[in-house]
Amino acid sequence: MKLPDLSSAICQTHIALQSSALKAINRNLTLRNWLIGFYIIEFEQRGEDRAQYGTNLLKTLEKQVNTRGLTETLFKLSRQFYIIYPQIKDMIVNQLNTIRPTLSDEFNLQLSSTVLSIPATKSQELQNIKRKPKTLI
């Protein structure tokens, strides 16, 4: 390999991976904005303290979140985005399922492991204690 070949390989790798990274960032920001819109709409329709905020919800939310880029304007646009593109839900479900199992699945796993570790009866628990070496009792 000569220097021009090395230079070309590095440039091609950079361009391809940078393009891939930009697509991933764009996709993730799209998902983020849609989810923000979803959360806001759900809160407005079902939130327990929704009446407390009234028309100042987005302004109050901006102050509470206090994160650069998460502004009242972004919240308004995200809410509109969610309303206009409800079909993005399917894409989000697929994306989240590849990241980790649902919370209900996680809860079921935790619950089943807890139930498995509970002795069926007190006598079974006592038998387990008797079987352990005396140094552990």
Task: Per residue of the chain (137 residues), give pLDDT as tens.
Answer: 899 999 999 999 999 999 999 999 998 899 999 999 999 998 888 877 766 656 688 999 999 999 999 999 999 999 999 999 988 888 777 777 766 555 556 545 554 444 444 444 545 555 554 555 555 44
Q: Estimate to the nearest angstrom the gap between the alpha carbon of 127 and the chain centroid.
A: 44
Residue closest to 42 by CA, chosen among 85, 82, 77: 82
The sign of the CA dihedral 105, 110, 116, 119 is negative
Domain segments of the chain as ranges:
3-99, 100-137
Distance CA 32, CA 16 (A): 24
* Length in residues, the chain: 137
**pTM score over 0.75:** no
Distance CA 60, CA 46 (A): 18
pLDDT recorded at residue 40:
93
pLDDT recorded at residue 94:
76
CA atoms within a 13 Å half-sphere pointing along the CA-CB vector of 31: 14
Q: Estimate to the nearest angstrom the gap between the alpha carbon of 102 and the chain centroid.
A: 10
